[in-house]
Chain A
Amino acid sequence: MPTRSAYIHVPFCVHRCGYCDFTLVAGRDELMGDFLKAIEIELSHVEGRPVLDTLFFGGGTPTQLPPDLLRQLIELIRSKFDLASDAEFSVEGNPADLSDATLDVLVEAGVNRLSLGAQSFDDATLKMLERDHRGSDIADCLARARERIPNISLDLIFAVPGQSLELWRSTLDEAIQLEPTHLSTYGLTFEKGTAFWTRREHGDLTQADEELERDMYGLAMDVLDEAGLAQYEISSFARPGFRSRHNQVYWNGGDFFGFGPGAASYQHGRRILNHRSVTTWLKRVLAGESGVGETEELSPEDRARELLVLGLRQTDGIEACEFERRSGIELQTLVGESIERLVKQNLLEHANNRIRLTREGRFLADSVAGELLV
């Protein structure tokens, strides 16, 4: 099967938010030209002229590129790939800087899905997160964008220091009122190397209590479901027909291309990760060297276990025959005992011939993953 998905990482932001450990440079817009050149070089290694079913521009903030550079970037991609007629073409954007000019470029290029980093509607929370937009910007942005690109997803963050359950509830409510087709919710994590990590070490940031975080996640599941945004993965909720096709490629073990610093590609059981430092990646690629940081060759069993764990993170869960067809390994022999144990512990359940996480299991998905990898 040829590879039919691609991810492009655009590593630019105005400012690095305190919790963010993504691959990006903040306030280094002068590197944008080099970035385009480097992407062109990476693209030149692709053989033939593949057709894509899904294309995703993530970041960083892709919409941080000025309209003409964004157009050039899209042209570069489209000169190498064809898009299937029903392709999903997503771009991540920032509510603060999605200009009409940028929207023009996106619409013209065929972008049909927008993913907005809303995070919160509460200004204090946004300030805490060091985001550069205000709560009211989100509605404005949505109002302008939705006529032209109706399929819009919002990202929300919970368990932010100082955020109460009530505040989270109103954030969810406001999000629902804006009627997005899709919503992603993330519990805030403290990653090594971020400002938040250091602040927590020094005691001037307090991580949300485990019980509160659990309640917040539980609340999101309840409220969103009621609003018609059905959960289909640990952090993903969608109206019928609006699940992210691109992300489902990741979770179902599909192949994909990846371009840009820190981007991953996965083909024939080999995962290639580009260098995570933007400048190193740029330097190497522009010097004609490889921008790859590490390569991972997955054994059939590794692939099967990964498929299993990623499959279970989706609410549909997995089905034994289908699993065996995809992985070449029988589910029962691989993890039969562990599954039964987890079912007894009420973390997994059998439903309609499929195995999936229980509601309780969703709170403890990483523990479940740990069990299934031993």
Chain B
Amino acid sequence: MDASLIRNFSIVAHIDHGKSTLADRFLLMTGAITAREFKEQILDDLDVERERGITVKARTVAIHYKHEGKTYELNLIDTPGHVDFHYEVSRSLAACEGALLLVDAFQGVQAQTVANAYAAIECDLEIIPVINKIDLPVTRVEEVMDEIETVLGLDGLSSLQISAKNGINIEAVLKAIVEQVPPPAGDPDKPLRALVFDSKYDGYRGVVTYLRVMDGSIKKGQRITYMKGGTAHEVLELGQFRPAMTPCNELSTGQVGYMLCGIKDLGMVHVGDTVTDRSVPATTALPGYQQPQQMVFCGMYPIDATDFEHLRDELQKMGLNDASFSFQPETSDALGFGFRCGFLGMLHMEIIQQRLEKEAAVDLIQTAPNVTYELLTRSGETILIDNPEDVPDSGQIEEFREPIARVTFIVPSDRIGVILQMCEDRRGIYKATEYLGPKRAQITYELPLAEVIYDMHDRLKSATQGYGTMDYEIICYRNSDLVKMDILVKGVRVDALSTISHRSTSEKRGRTLVKRLKNEISKHQFEIAIQAAIGSRVIARETISALRKNVTAKCYGGDITRKRKLWAKQREGKKRMKQFGQVEIPQKAFLSVLESSSEE
């Protein structure tokens, strides 16, 4: 295929600014899908995506578009907008020459608009700003143009104005892509180099490798090697997503598609690797990707201990489709064998857990998440802690450091005060305020990551009636007065309930937490004391009184069925319980640790 007729671009934007809806339009207009096959956000095909109405995975599609008598192949990548999936965006950008930057005509430039625009600029991509949702009853098109100009430094005045939903001005976007995005630059005569920018596992066909051919070309039947993985394979099938997997015989320089080699071993394919020809290999591999830094960790344990191996397999498969989370086997006295999993954020964690339960059918107990801490021990060693259990005795700790994030908020000017207050309450250090226009401001703070990730986003939304947005990046670890708090249930320490918090808030947290646990744990035949302790000092205590009566009197003909249902419900509930000494603790209790991090 003639590379001058290929255009590769990503659609990037703040969450909900209409990326997937625009992709729908492209697919419809170019005939990739028929009106009958159409449904909204058709590329969001994971259960979790449809349920939540957001994109979680980047999705690639090849479409054909006729312009001035020539047929172009456009490879578009629809990317997620939420900050937790930023790794999806950066991987996609590396496979493209251009980016469509969508901006909501009312909301304007938001925190992830800024982050994504900068990411595209860093990759040297041609950026086409597009103002979407001009059909909305209230828009601020003029102001938004200004924001694009001043905040992002892009040509705001000539931004296209469209409505992805109503199909207004879509053709102009396609035209701009053909005219402004440069064709791929690789050399067709050089040895093959193709970037592995994504992958997934298919139960029947094995690993599906997503490729962007940088140099040379790849053909069905060719012998190839993964340069980093080091394994050699024969190409059994090549193809493009249109959007369904559609086989073809060759992918040439600049093209985007998939490859099947019948690989069943989950450890062989790595995102960021380079595929080359076996007999005429390239000398250097492509730069690949930087491993993202997981910042939120939690334990995931199979409810049924015999599911451990199954869970490992499923985590591996999930890892193939999402290179941004990590997992390490760990054991807990309380929960048995499981994994310590790392995520880019809370939503990411929720999504992975839900995908594991839905797509892989494993029932999980998940422990409360925590961030990674850094410890300097008395012996001068620096260690990273991603599980509160691993915190040594306070006597051995020289410095207990927590991750600090630089957080940028974009909020209506009249809400600045609320945001400042929120950040001060959370040990924030004020950095700057910049006005983006007459009514909007960008505030920068340095905040402990632990104060940011759990619920700051929700608080921000409610403090600004939904108009405020935020973005953050981790800048350093800083020494802080941190303590590890343990929970004892009827005198037994439950390791999976330990948390790390700042000393100034630990007592309050302890009190809230034992109260929560009291509500989550049902009455037993005996009294149960629930205590929160720092070291050997108990800082909070609640008691669950003994169960004294639990008997239904009537049990005649028709009652039996009703009783059976009740019992069956109890049985279902019990499945999600774990036994600690004599006490049964339900799965929900482990997450109540998390909720208690928010103030009452």
Contact = CB atoms under 8 A, between A and B. Distances in A.
Contact of B557 (A263, A347, A362, A373): A263
Interface string B553-594: 111111011011001101100100000000000000000000
Contacts of B553: 184-187, 189, 234-235
Given A370-B567, A370-B570, A373-B567, A364 B550 contact: yes
Interface string B228-249: 0000000000000000000000
Contacts of A367: 525, 547, 550
A306 interface: yes
B551 interface: yes
A328 to B, nearest CB: 19
A264 interface: yes
A10 interface: no
B552 interface: yes
Interface in A331-358: 345, 347
B568 to A, nearest CB: 7
A306 B557 CA distance: 12
A263 B525 CA distance: 35
B556 A247 contact: yes
A110 B549 CA distance: 40
A87 interface: no
A266 B549 contact: no
A310 B560 contact: yes
B548 interface: yes
A250 interface: yes
Contacts of B567: 309, 369-370, 373
Nearest to B552: A366
A211 interface: yes
Contacts of B551: 187, 217, 234, 362-366
Contacts of A366: 550-552
A186 B391 CA distance: 54
A264 B570 contact: no
Contact of B550 (A262, A345, A363, A373): A363
A370 B552 contact: no
Contacts of A289: none
Given A363-B550, A370-B570, A251 B558 contact: no
A235 B554 contact: yes
Contact of A374 (B549, B563, B564, B574): B574
B303 to A, nearest CB: 13
Interface string A225-265: 00000000011000000000001001100001010001111
Contact of B548 (A214, A264, A313, A362): A214
Given A187-B553, A347-B525, A370-B571, 7 more contacts: A58-B556, A186-B553, A234-B551, A262-B558, A345-B525, A363-B550, A369-B567
Interface of B: 525, 547-558, 560-561, 563-564, 567-568, 570-571, 574
Interface of A: 7, 58, 184-187, 189, 210-211, 213-214, 217, 234-235, 247, 250-251, 256, 258, 262-266, 271, 273, 294, 296, 302, 306, 309-310, 313, 345, 347, 362-367, 369-370, 373-374
8 smallest CB-CB distances across A and B, nearest first, come from A264-B558, A186-B553, A365-B551, A235-B553, A264-B557, A214-B549, A370-B570, A366-B550
20 contacts: A7-B557, A184-B553, A186-B553, A187-B551, A189-B553, A250-B556, A256-B557, A258-B557, A263-B557, A306-B564, A310-B560, A345-B525, A363-B549, A363-B551, A364-B525, A364-B550, A364-B551, A366-B551, A366-B552, A374-B574
